[in-house]
Structure 1
Amino acid sequence: MNSLPSIFNDVIGPVMRGPSSSHTAASWRVARMAVQMIDGHLKHASIAFDKDGAWVTNYEEQGTVLGMNGGLLEIDMADDLMKQTERIASERGVDISYKISTFENTHANSMQLTLTSDGGDHVEVLAASLGGGSFEIQKIDGCRVKMKGDYHELLVWSHGDIEKDLLKIKSSEVQLKCIESTDFNLYVFESYQPFDGVLTDRILQVDEVFKMANVLPVMPIISGKDRELPFSTIESLIAYAEAEGMSLGSVGLLYEQYRSGLSKEVLKDKMKTIIQIIEGSIERGLSGTEYEDRILPQQSNLVARAEQKGKILQGSIINKIIENVAAIMESKSALEVIVANPTAGSCGTVGAALKAVSDEVKASMDDKIMAYYAAGLVGAYFAMGPGFSAEEHGCQVECGASAGMAAAGIVEFFGGTAAQGLGAASMAIQNMIGLVCDPIADRVEAPCLGKNTSAAVNALSSATMAISGFAHLIPLDQVLETVERVSADMPTCVKCTGLGGLAITPAALKLKEQLEKIKTTQTNR
């Protein structure tokens, strides 16, 4: 089935709370799917992280516990109850524990969930967070699968081979996979439509079936209704856009139409909602946010104050960019609703830059939508390449990717061509290749705030150069290949582990110690 990334599933999104999309959003999604695989209500959950994985040092501080708890308790990510998951678990009598262990896995961000229901049913799920909230469930009860939350999945456990029986009762548009194990067979039905009761009733009538689970998708765009795109490579995309007289934003919207099977009107409405959430997070940040477990106070209001006092440049768009980035990042750190764009760690760049420029050029909502589709298309090609996992590639795939996305969006506001948009993205990403990921005290606040701000200003300058006719020299696809190649030479300690870079300076270690003492004191009250 379709392997192309979706702009909504894999790039501009998810809508979430918490410090990290890799940790918080992906763990919520994995847990939300896994809890649907047990018969009855959740009673016990044991979550394991590999001792050699990237999350062993920071899974609690970067929001994995927050996301996992919320998903297991089936709390919507936008619900304020996400801030109180430990209390809710206690009230419901649900025991959730975390441990460091050793288990077979293939990704630095792997997690193993063992869930037990009140009726004694259990399931073991192995999953990996792929960056930006994307994930993959890789094993269910030891059976190798590949589930990414973008289909309706019907799981059937059987004591024997019942494939012929299942093929007779499934419809033609439903895919069926069989995974054999030593003790049983696992059958996976996959569909872009919900499964009806007639099918599930017929399955349960098969004698060998001893368990069935209907797992609903957690992604905003359901796959399976795609059409073949009229372009594939970035070079063919530029040729297609030139031949059809289309901007990069128009091509991005067309891409998602082909990818999702949804109409232009529906997709524009979806992007409008995303933009409103992003701009709402700016408003929320500027109005003031508070949260105990963070290292930076509100600072977004300081820019306007300094400008009013004549201490900085007057009326500069750079001032607005800095203000907007800080506001989004403060909303994120206070566990308010944000959009990972393309990740939570880099959520400030695109929204801040596009809001500042759109205000400057007095853009309409339709103009904003097309700018976001231009940004999203660059992100889709980034997702096809290195992806957005800082644990694999460092911050060059977070703030670096967001800089390229924002640059393309700004070119769209300036009325540039698709070639200019991709050229601007190339220049912006070139400027951030090799960027390390070293959050201080394991909080995704600093130096993340500065990196997001630099990325946003980089986006504006790159878009300005592209529109002015500056040469980007290296095509975007070769830049993305370079990102992946450079990451292979970067030491693991500077890839979001808290074990390198600024995170191990004396000042950072002292700050982390202070935060841990405060948290211990609060816990013991």
Structure 2
Amino acid sequence: MSAPSIFNDVLGPVMRGPSSSHCAGALRIGRLARDLMQGDIKQALIEYDPNGSLVTTHKSQGSDMGLFGGFLGWDADEEQLVNYESHLEQAGITTEIQYRSIGATHPNTYKLSLSNNNISHEFTALSTGGGMIEVIAIDQAPVHFMGDSYVLVVYPQFTDPLALETLTNSLNSQLEAENKHLQAELSQGIKPIIIIESAQEFGDTLIQRICQQCQTQDYRLLNPVMPVLSNPDMTLPFMDARQLLDYIQSHNAKPLPLIALEYESARSGLNHQQLMAKMSGIHQVMRSAVNTGLQGTQFADRILPSQSPAFRAKHLSNELLPSSILNEAVMHVSAIMEAKSAMHTIVAAPTAGSCGAMAGAVLGAAKVMDSSDEQVCEALFVAGLIGVLITKDATFAAEEAGCMAECGSGSSMAAAALVALHNGDTEQCLTAASMALQNSFGMTCDPIANRVEAPCLGKNVMAASNALSCANMALAGFDQVVPIDEVIIAMAKVGKAIPHELCCTALGGLSQTPTAQKIEKQLSGSEGVTEVLRFKSC
């Protein structure tokens, strides 16, 4: 059973780059592809479908950087990511990118054809938002795994359908005796493959027994790329927002931070102390990003200059309109976004494009309120839980639902976290989350010059401001009207109605203004009129 994790799906990855779905998601896909090739990639053909978003965004939003960093075996926060091209050349890896119809049903579909002197493979995967991925085909054989487990891929040396079915049944009988959670699945592509997933590493003895039955030594071992592994023994207290509301009614004495800890403990198998330690690490990365931004940042391929230091100076000298907690939030949001744009390490929360909204609002408020580190971590768990509910029934991917999916989700998460930080009760937290998400419906994703800076900075600031307002409205007893579970379902439907041109494709809105096109030409160094690629809706 697959279920969202606060640390896999919502608060993370810890990464560098403008976009988590483009950079971190692509890097994780590249890491798995590298494992499939046994760590040796020499040639790579990457195909993107014109009906998706990657044709117009793969270079400027970091898909190339992430994917090729994965080919090199790097982590998402690798300092050398920005220099990936020279490292790719040193490794002797040649790449080609083609745009053609591949029948993609998701806007972030990566189809890879990989080879070296000895082997070749095809690998198709999706970047589903916020750094999350889904592998859907290996050598044209349909598969389904999400990078949170060890995956054994075995190539049997016979092709007779009846023999393969008998083999699979025999393997499953033996695997069940070995581990009740292990199951072999047969899939047919260019040639048949056997797929086995495990939450633990495969021992050499088990691998050899499986290979012996398959009459082969041709196998691949793909390692997990997520921080929290699958947990086949998990029994979750709830699965979605509706079930959470029912759970709260029967456990009305439990504060929401504790409920969030219980959920993640059930999902991950980690105890509360271990989870608090992980959240403390996330908190420290967020604070470091704020400090980095406020010191001033520089980066060549960038639209906006460093602006948060000047805002801080004006704020400290009382030259701004008086609003201490809002001004702190704006300053923190701006600093985090500037750190991201200069390729410093940030936490995608829930995405890199919206990394400033929730973190900036919570850290800014915590500074004014003099909150302890423990209180901030508890508030971040509340934010993470709201994110789990959103990703379960909607999405964080702007390619699917515009900026509503990113900054809208971040605002909802922040609103609940702010109420928790102020010791509000569970009902107030959920009311704030609902109102903030309602206010975010229909937000477009139309980045200027295809960089995740403008209007992204303003939308992150707006999301934080919305969260602060909704938190106070909830604390004052305002009526949410529509509960959070219904709002999330409605959000998913609205996302499907947003035009393709306004979902991170740079084909509409501000992306197509004369100023945006002029800036893009200046950054790319191109002359003349830039051709506008137009594709049908996904």
- SS class of match (1:358): helix
Comparing 321-330 with 78-87, greater Cα deviation is found at: 78-87
Structure 1 gap ranges (5+): 521-525
Aligned mates of 2:372, 2:180 — CA distance in 1: 40
Q: Is the contact between residue 142 and residue 189 of structure 2 (CA under 8 Å) also seen in structure 1?
A: no
- SS class of match (2:67): helix
Name the counterpart of 1:419: 427
Aligned mates of 1:205, 1:477 — CA distance in 2: 50
Aligned mates of 2:187, 2:241 — CA distance in 1: 40
Matching of residue 67 in structure 1 with residue 75 in structure 2: no
Q: Deviations over 1:112-155 (max 9, x none)?
A: 011113x4211101111111111111000011001100111111
Alignment of 1:482-497 (within 5 A): 482-497=490-505
CA deviation after TM superposition for structure 1 residue 304, in Å: 1.8
- Give the aligned residue type for 1:286: L
- Give the aligned residue type for 2:137: K
- Give the aligned residue type for 1:166: L
Name the counterpart of 1:257: 265
Aligned mates of 1:216, 1:291 — CA distance in 2: 34
Name the counterpart of 1:393: 401
Q: Deviations over 1:418-463 (max 9, x none)?
A: 1110100001011110000000000000000000001001101101
Aligned mates of 1:417, 1:194 — CA distance in 2: 42
Alignment of 1:117-196 (within 5 A): 117=116, 119-160=117-158, 161=164, 162-167=167-172, 169-170=174-175, 171-181=178-188, 184-196=191-203
Name the counterpart of 2:536: none
Name the counterpart of 1:20: 19
Matching of residue 476 in structure 1 with residue 484 in structure 2: yes
Aligned mates of 1:439, 1:327 — CA distance in 2: 19
Alignment of 1:23-422 (within 5 A): 23-39=22-38, 41-117=40-116, 119-160=117-158, 161=164, 162-167=167-172, 169-170=174-175, 171-181=178-188, 184-206=191-213, 208-209=215-216, 211-241=218-248, 243-314=251-322, 316-422=324-430
- Give the aligned residue type for 1:496: C
- Give the aligned residue type for 2:288: G
CA deviation after TM superposition for structure 1 residue 224, in Å: 2.2
- SS class of match (1:42): coil
Normalised by the length of structure 2, the TM-score is 0.93
CA deviation after TM superposition for structure 1 residue 232, in Å: 4.1
Aligned mates of 1:226, 1:61 — CA distance in 2: 41
CA deviation after TM superposition for structure 1 residue 158, in Å: 1.1
Q: Is the contact between residue 144 and residue 179 of structure 1 (CA under 8 Å) also seen in structure 2?
A: no
Aligned mates of 2:457, 2:351 — CA distance in 1: 13
CA deviation after TM superposition for structure 1 residue 412, in Å: 0.5
Q: Which runs of 4+ in 1 moved over 4 A?
A: none
- SS class of match (1:327): helix
- CA gap 1:480/1:244 in 2 versus in 1, 3 angstroms: closer
CA deviation after TM superposition for structure 1 residue 167, in Å: 3.1
Aligned mates of 1:231, 1:487 — CA distance in 2: 25
Name the counterpart of 2:161: none
- CA gap 1:512/1:155 in 2 versus in 1, 3 angstroms: same
Aligned mates of 1:202, 1:187 — CA distance in 2: 14
Aligned mates of 2:325, 2:425 — CA distance in 1: 23
Identity of counterpart residues, as a percentage?
39
Normalised by the length of structure 1, the TM-score is 0.95
- CA gap 1:93/1:10 in 2 versus in 1, 3 angstroms: same
CA deviation after TM superposition for structure 1 residue 40, in Å: 5.4
CA deviation after TM superposition for structure 1 residue 519, in Å: 11
- CA gap 1:210/1:231 in 2 versus in 1, 3 angstroms: closer
- CA gap 1:181/1:449 in 2 versus in 1, 3 angstroms: same
Aligned mates of 1:479, 1:207 — CA distance in 2: 50
- C-alpha RMSD of matched pairs (Å): 1.8
Name the counterpart of 1:523: none
Q: Is the contact between residue 328 and residue 365 of structure 2 (CA under 8 Å) also seen in structure 1?
A: no
CA deviation after TM superposition for structure 1 residue 180, in Å: 3.5
CA deviation after TM superposition for structure 1 residue 287, in Å: 1.3
Name the counterpart of 2:531: none
- CA gap 1:109/1:155 in 2 versus in 1, 3 angstroms: same
Equivalences, count: 518
Comparing 92-101 with 394-403, greater Cα deviation is found at: 92-101
Q: Is the contact between residue 311 and residue 331 of structure 2 (CA under 8 Å) also seen in structure 1?
A: yes
Q: Is the contact between residue 44 and residue 95 of structure 1 (CA under 8 Å) also seen in structure 2?
A: yes
Q: Deviations over 1:36-85 (max 9, x none)?
A: 01245211111111122111111100000010010000012222121211
Q: Is the contact between residue 54 and residue 108 of structure 1 (CA under 8 Å) also seen in structure 2?
A: yes
- Give the aligned residue type for 1:139: A
CA deviation after TM superposition for structure 1 residue 233, in Å: 4.6
Aligned mates of 2:196, 2:237 — CA distance in 1: 30
- Give the aligned residue type for 2:120: H
Aligned mates of 2:148, 2:392 — CA distance in 1: 17
Structure 2 gap ranges (5+): 159-163, 529-538
Aligned mates of 2:301, 2:526 — CA distance in 1: 9
CA deviation after TM superposition for structure 1 residue 485, in Å: 1.8
Residue number among 428, 443, 461 corresponding to 1:453 in the alignment: 461
Comparing 431-440 with 300-309, greater Cα deviation is found at: 300-309
- SS class of match (2:56): coil
Q: Deviations over 1:395-427 (max 9, x none)?
A: 101000000000010011111111110100001
CA deviation after TM superposition for structure 1 residue 225, in Å: 4.0
- Give the aligned residue type for 2:203: D
Q: Is the contact between residue 241 and residue 247 of structure 1 (CA under 8 Å) also seen in structure 2?
A: no
Q: Is the contact between residue 169 and residue 199 of structure 1 (CA under 8 Å) also seen in structure 2?
A: no
- Give the aligned residue type for 2:247: Y
Aligned mates of 2:425, 2:189 — CA distance in 1: 57
Aligned mates of 2:345, 2:217 — CA distance in 1: 41
CA deviation after TM superposition for structure 1 residue 197, in Å: 1.1
